[in-house]
C-alpha cells in the first residue's frame, strides 16, 4: 500500500477491509521518516513507542467493530511549538506539564 497517495477515508477503508492495519501503516511511516530524516532534519523528536502502542489500540478497536475518529490510526506530526505532556517543546526549556488542546487524541 502506498499510503501517501490515499486519503484518510481511503486508509480507514483499508483498515476495515483488512487490507492493512494501523500498526502496519505506522511502521511504514516510521520507515519513511527514518530513511529521509537524515537529509531533512524535520523532527526534533519521535515517540516511536507511543505511536506503535496507539496503532495497536486502534487495531483492537477495529477488531471489535468500533467506529474510529477521523485521525485515529493515521500517522501525523505536530509542530514543535505545540505542547505535549512530558515532551520537550520549543516554547519551554523543560518538558511540558500538560497537553495542548491540539495534541489531545482520543485514547
Q: What are the pLDDT digits (tens) for 29-87?
A: 999 999 988 888 888 778 899 899 999 999 999 999 998 888 899 998 877 666 666 66
Angle between helices 48-63 and 8-16 (to 10 degrees): 60
Which residue from 63, 75, 72 is spatially nearest to 16, judged by alpha carbons? 63
Question: Which positions ≥6 away from 5 have C-beta within 8 Å?
Answer: none
Query: Residue 92 — very low, low, confident or very high, per pLDDT cuts 50/70/90?
Result: low
Separation of alpha carbons 30 and 76, rounded Å: 11
Model's pTM, two decimal places? 0.75
The whole-angstrom separation of Cα 20 and Cα 12 is 9
Amino acid at each position: 500500500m502506498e499510503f501517501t497517495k490515499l486519503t484518510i477515508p481511503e486508509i480507514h477503508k483499508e483498515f476495515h477491509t483488512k487490507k492493512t492495519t494501523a500498526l502496519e501503516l505506522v511502521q511504514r511511516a516510521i520507515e519513511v521518516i527514518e530513511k529521509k530524516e537524515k537529509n531533512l532534519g524535520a523532527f526534533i523528536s519521535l515517540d516511536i513507542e507511543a505511536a506503535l502502542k496507539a496503532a495497536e489500540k486502534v487495531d483492537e478497536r477495529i477488531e471489535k467493530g468500533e467506529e474510529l475518529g477521523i485521525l485515529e490510526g493515521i500517522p501525523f506530526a505536530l509542530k514543535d511549538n505545540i505542547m505535549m505532556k512530558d515532551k520537550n517543546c520549543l516554547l519551554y526549556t523543560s518538558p511540558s506539564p500538560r497537553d495542548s488542546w491540539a495534541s489531545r487524541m482520543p485514547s
